[in-house]
Structure 1
């Protein structure tokens, strides 16, 4: 286990557990506002403490740190990525996601709305089909995207892997995910986020959430780039002028 994962596990152990069923009931948040922060992992404990006694850590079968593997799909010209680069109001991501510890796998389509809200649609998927959409997957995607682009044109463009702890604050209507050991892989190259940093995502029905206010007090700012866009920029050498400062400051390995 890496040092960052050990720290994350220790932090998660400080809080009362919450089950997956309770998490789904209290903070499913399939429609939500997401904010992302990359902070030194040593700061995370202070942020969690400031969120107060209502904070609980997701626990499944005695585990609190979970492995994730996601395969993103895009057109050969990276249309989904370019929509993000160009700042289009309506944007999409398509991915399969495998929960490593249980092998549970989902096919997901994420939509970013004109007001910044994220809506996630998902369906059960086979772990053996992580890199394939198949006819059923293409139909699911086309129904949601109205065939723009045609799901038949989508190909695997990026793989991301990381370890996550999820915190839930039901009273605040908040979910907080904390990811470490984040790595990206494409057919071009592989890379990873420098050690000692944790990617924190706040997920709430409104913005800014109580967690956003706390992070702002610690001089942390939303990095405004998704894992998919960061991974494509880092592994494909794709144009990324709007995120150049964030990528260089937080995500590019130190030479």
Structure 2
């Protein structure tokens, strides 16, 4: 596939967007890339097209972010530090999901992972949210990502594979699945990726990597509303 550089992708950042997610088996990847290759360019950072990512998620001691997602709260937040290992860039990010189904991401560059948030990081979170919740590290995640950029419309597609989660003591991995996310300015079903996934009979699935990791590592958490989804993911794997 024709490459696109990190600098050229800046105009496709889509920090305020509509997300559509899918879970599929790793065996679909070669056919998927071949079928949509003419419609997308692939992000290439220093010759690397399969980029490793590391993420540290923060939540309150009573897991408020997790509980809000589990209980279907429409306006909710997630807090994380993510490192893009191919470039070395590291960001503190606040993701907000609103009741219109839109995702807005705000972030600042930081030097490194902070297990104890610095004063400037706390100030950024307070500036974005209007308050500062008590946040502690809850979950590490890692995965490798292929990023595709649509040639003709404002759309990016991320394909995350080799997912692994850790809470410091225990590690769980999902090596046989891909979480695909189509990120668009507007909900456009004529996306080549969405159309091809539909032809493969792969249905949309709202899935959060944070919540998925939490239920795999912390079985004491309430997860009744996620059980059917977790069963479907395990069946795909």
CA distance in 1: counterparts of 2:224 and 2:194, whole angstroms: 25
- Select the residue among 203, 210, 224 that pairs with 1:241: 224
* 1:136 pairs with one of 120, 133, 138: 120
Q: Which residue of 1 aligns with 2:138?
A: 157
Q: Is contact 1:98–1:130 with CA below 8 Å preserved after alignment?
A: no
Task: Quote the residue 2:76 is aligned against.
Answer: 91
Q: CA deviation at 1:214?
A: 2.2
Contact persistence 2:3–2:44 (CA under 8 A): yes
TM-score, scaled to structure 1: 0.86
Match of 1:222 among 204, 207, 212: 204
Q: Deviations over 1:198-237 (max 9, x none)?
A: 2211111122441223212211112212101111111112
Question: Runs of 5+ in structure 2 lacking a partner?
Answer: none
Matched, 1:168 2:152: no
Residues 70 and 236 of structure 1: is their aligned pair in 2 closer, same or farther, counting only changes over 3 Å?
Answer: same
**What secondary structure does 1:53 align onto?**
helix
Equivalent position to 1:203, from 183, 186, 202: 183
Instruction: Give 1:47's match in structure 2, choosing from 32, 41, 48.
Output: 32
Shift in Å, 1:48 = 3.0
Stretch deviating more after TM superposition (226-235 or 97-106): 97-106
Per-residue CA distance 1:50-78 (angstroms, 9 max, x = gap): 33523111011111111100000000000
What SS does the corresponding residue of 1:60 show, helix, strand or coil?
coil
Q: Distance in 2 between matches of 1:155 and 1:50?
A: 43
CA–CA distance in 2 between the matches of 1:51 and 1:242? 34
Q: Report the secondary structure of 1:76's partner residue.
A: coil
Per the TM alignment, residue 174 of structure 1 is displaced from its structure 2 partner at its CA by: 1.5
Q: Which residue of 2 aligns with 1:7?
A: none
Q: SS at the partner of 1:64?
A: coil
Q: Does the 8 Å CA contact 1:90/1:113 hold for their aligned counterparts? A: yes
- Checking the alignment, whether the CA contact within 8 Å between 1:71 and 1:157 is kept in structure 2 is yes
Length, aligned pairs only: 234
Correspondence for 1:9: none
